Amino acid sequence: FWAASAFEVRLLHTNDHHAHLEPVEMGENETLGGISKRKTLIDRLREESDRANQPLLLLDAGDVFQGTLYFNTYQGQADGKFYNALNYDAMTLGNHEFDQGQEVLRNFIEESKFSIVSANLDIESSSPLSGWVKPWIILKKKGQNIGILGLTTPETMTMAEVGEGVEFLDPVQAAQQAVNELTQEGVNKIIALTHLGITEDLELARQVDGIDVIIGGHSHTRVGDMPEAVYPYPIVEKTPNGQPVLVVTDWEWGKYLGDLNVRFDRQGHLQNWEGNLHPVSDEISANPQFQAILKTFSQPIQKLKSKVIGETPIKLNGDRPYIRREQTNLGTLLGEALLVKTARNQTEIAITNGGGIRGSIAAGEITIGDILEAFPFPNTVIEVDLTGKQIKELLEYGVSQVDKLDGCFPQVAGMRLDWQADLPVGSRMLRVDTRQGDGSYLPLDLERNYRVVTSSFLFKGGDGYTLLSEGKNVVDTGYLISDTLIEYIRDRDSDGSHYRAAEG
Ligand code: ATP
Ligand code: ZN
């Protein structure tokens, strides 16, 4: 009798999909992920649960947006179409959902058949998102209510261009309030769908009573039996009053599907659980209907991708361990392109963030697709006057977190930097020289003004570059960074000499 009144639910979950509709190459002859294989797998698990008369929820912990040309081309609409067809029940918002502004996000939400939840967003009525995001929802399964609350990282404020009318509240406080509201509705089984990162998820688990399961994203954390996993699946934590709470996450890009079975007693307390991670491997066949739809989306992308704009005799390096730790030829190429584009205003120095460069360009022909993949963010080119002193300070900041491979590492042009990572933070920059009109270099003059070119992301304080907004005579040129680079490559001769120059 007691067992019969307990309630069991199966939670399938993904996070940080990042527009990865196609399988991801994992090494020779091996792929993981792909939306058509995800479909086959989910269908199989749904059938299994149907047969066992077990309720099932399909949930996503955010960052569906940004990462491949499917996003650049369709602004989330392609991913949304597949998520609808997969019958997702709910999703929380990740930081990247704000990458193209609130209108694009609203369009995505308008089309989605599933609920979008985030409890720590404060949305004003003037925002296009007003009325489209719920703090929490209640899903009814087999006569039982399950509360689902969402949380989005406040880092979104510096990671994306959020725009007016949306503020981020403290996630722990917002979660507590959502739990209180759900409890008042008589809900005693609560899932938090979060895009905060694993450290914050564990903290949340320890600080808020009433949450039973936290399904997280954002930190791209490997768990369970994934290679190089750092946490078990699930992680078992305790709430302040000693109740167990399960914390799970699912790495990234739909490579795996999280599958957590939980059983609640009559009071809505967790009784037992069992977790599995299913690799979306090559052994799973691709669903043919999904493949057919994917093909219609991929054709224009293939065409765009294949448009050749130039050639490089050497690899242009944007790989994360390099672009976030040292000046690379691709970083230099970008900086030079920005300087050329703004030359009529006598710009002298370019500074961008290494984290804004998301990949390398292989030797050989360069296509538009290559550029858009490496430079996916819709940032514009900004000009601003800074003093030598401010520039020095910016550069010191830029190299302050190099051991963490933080995205703030500066890729520059028009300057030569001599710095050392093993010196104390704040005094690593031994020497800064700036390029003169005749190509020679002189030490940075701390007293004088320099015309600097940078990205809108950094100018708005992204990656912690808050100092940039103190600059004078600001001009937002409106040019896209990616377009500026495409133009630069297209306009140069294709003998590759400028790439070799960039290498030095
Ligand atoms: P997640 O995808 O889970 O949010 P992420 O993959 O974006 O995380 P990282 O790969 O560490 O996390 O990238 C974060 C870095 O990406 C930031 O530090 C910044 O350098 C860069 N970045 C993010 N958004 C932008 C943007 N709009 N413009 C330029 N750079 C950006
Ligand atoms: Zn994220």
**What integer pLDDT is reported at residue 102 of this predicted model?**
97
Describe the strand order of the beta sheet including 415-419 as a list of residue ranges. 415-419, 429-435, 441-443
The closest residue, in CA terms, to atom 23 on ligand 1 is 159
Tokens of 400: 């302050």
Q: Could you tell me the pLDDT band of residue 2, with boundaries at 50, 70 and 90? A: very low
CA-based torsion, 281, 283, 287, 288: positive or negative: positive
CA-based torsion, 339, 345, 351, 354: positive or negative: negative
**What integer pLDDT is reported at residue 502 of this predicted model?**
53
The closest residue, in CA terms, to atom 3 on ligand 1 is 218
Pocket perturbation via mutation, ligand 1, pick of 158, 159, 358, 397 by most ligand atoms within 8 A of CB = 159
Q: Region 61-71: what's the mean pLDDT?
A: 92
Mean pLDDT of the chain: 94
The closest residue, in CA terms, to atom 4 on ligand 1 is 218
Q: Region 193-210: what's the mean pLDDT?
A: 98
| Predicted confidence (pLDDT) per residue in 145-169, tens digit | 999 999 999 988 877 778 999 999 9
Q: Is 379 in the pocket of ligand 1 (CB under 6 A)?
A: yes
User: Residue 90 pLDDT more than 80?
Assistant: yes
Minimal CA–CA distance to 247: which of 207, 305, 295? Answer: 207
Q: Is 20 in the pocket of ligand 1 (CB under 6 A)?
A: no
205 Cα to the center of ligand 1, angstroms: 25
The larger pLDDT score, comparing residue 73 to residue 117, is at: 117
| Predicted confidence (pLDDT) per residue in 259-281, tens digit | 999 999 989 999 999 999 999 99
Instruction: Give the span between the Cα atoms of 387 and 41, in whole angstroms.
Output: 57
470 Cα to the center of ligand 2, angstroms: 28
Q: Could you tell me the pLDDT band of residue 492, with boundaries at 50, 70 and 90? A: confident
Q: Could you tell me the pLDDT band of residue 480, with boundaries at 50, 70 and 90? A: confident
DSSP-derived pairing of the beta strands 144-152 and 166-168: unpaired
| Predicted confidence (pLDDT) per residue in 306-337, tens digit | 899 999 999 999 999 999 999 999 999 999 99
Number of the ligand 1 atom closest to the C-alpha atom of 16? 3
What DSSP assignment string belongs to 240-279? TTS-EEEEEE--STTSEEEEEEEEE-TTS-EEEEEEEEEE
Q: Is 97 in the pocket of ligand 1 (CB under 6 A)?
A: no
Instruction: Give the span between the Cα atoms of 103 and 211, in whole angstroms.
Output: 32
| Residue 16 near residue 258 (C-beta atoms within 8 A) | no
Q: Region 231-257: what's the mean pLDDT?
A: 97
**What integer pLDDT is reported at residue 1 of this predicted model?**
38
CA-based torsion, 44, 45, 48, 51: positive or negative: negative
Minimal CA–CA distance to 247: which of 224, 279, 267, 226? Answer: 224
197 Cα to the center of ligand 2, angstroms: 8
Question: What is the greatest pairwise CA distance in the chain?
Answer: 88
Number of the ligand 1 atom closest to the C-alpha atom of 195? 3
Number of the ligand 1 atom closest to the C-alpha atom of 252? 3
**What integer pLDDT is reported at residue 160 of this predicted model?**
76
Tokens of 2: 């007691």
**What integer pLDDT is reported at residue 149 of this predicted model?**
98
Minimal CA–CA distance to 13: which of 64, 48, 53? Answer: 64
456 Cα to the center of ligand 1, angstroms: 14
Number of the ligand 1 atom closest to the C-alpha atom of 379? 28
Q: Is 353 in the pocket of ligand 1 (CB under 6 A)?
A: yes
Q: Peptide bond preceding 234: is omega within 30 degrees of 0, i.e. cis?
A: yes
Q: Could you tell me the pLDDT band of residue 493, with boundaries at 50, 70 and 90? A: low
Q: Is 201 in the pocket of ligand 1 (CB under 6 A)?
A: no
Q: Region 431-446: what's the mean pLDDT?
A: 96
Tokens of 363: 């030797």
Minimal CA–CA distance to 469: which of 480, 458, 478, 479? Answer: 458
Minimal CA–CA distance to 57: which of 205, 199, 219, 190? Answer: 190
Ranges for all domains in the chain classified under CATH 3.90.780.10: 308-503
| Residue 360 near residue 319 (C-beta atoms within 8 A) | yes
Pocket perturbation via mutation, ligand 1, pick of 15, 252, 353, 401 by most ligand atoms within 8 A of CB = 353
Ranges for all domains in the chain classified under CATH 3.60.21.10: 12-300
User: Residue 495 pLDDT more than 80?
Assistant: no
DSSP-derived pairing of the beta strands 190-195 and 213-216: parallel
Phi-psi region of 365 (alpha: psi -120 to 50; beta: other; left: phi over 0): beta
| Predicted confidence (pLDDT) per residue in 178-200, tens digit | 999 999 999 999 999 999 999 99
Say whether domain 308-503 belongs to CATH 3.40.50.1860.
no
User: Residue 496 pLDDT more than 90?
Assistant: no
Q: Which fold has domain 12-300?
A: Purple Acid Phosphatase; chain A, domain 2 (3.60.21)
**What integer pLDDT is reported at residue 504 of this predicted model?**
41
Report the amino acid identity of residue 321.
Answer: P
Q: Could you tell me the pLDDT band of residue 109, with boundaries at 50, 70 and 90? A: very high
ipTM of predicted complex? 0.93
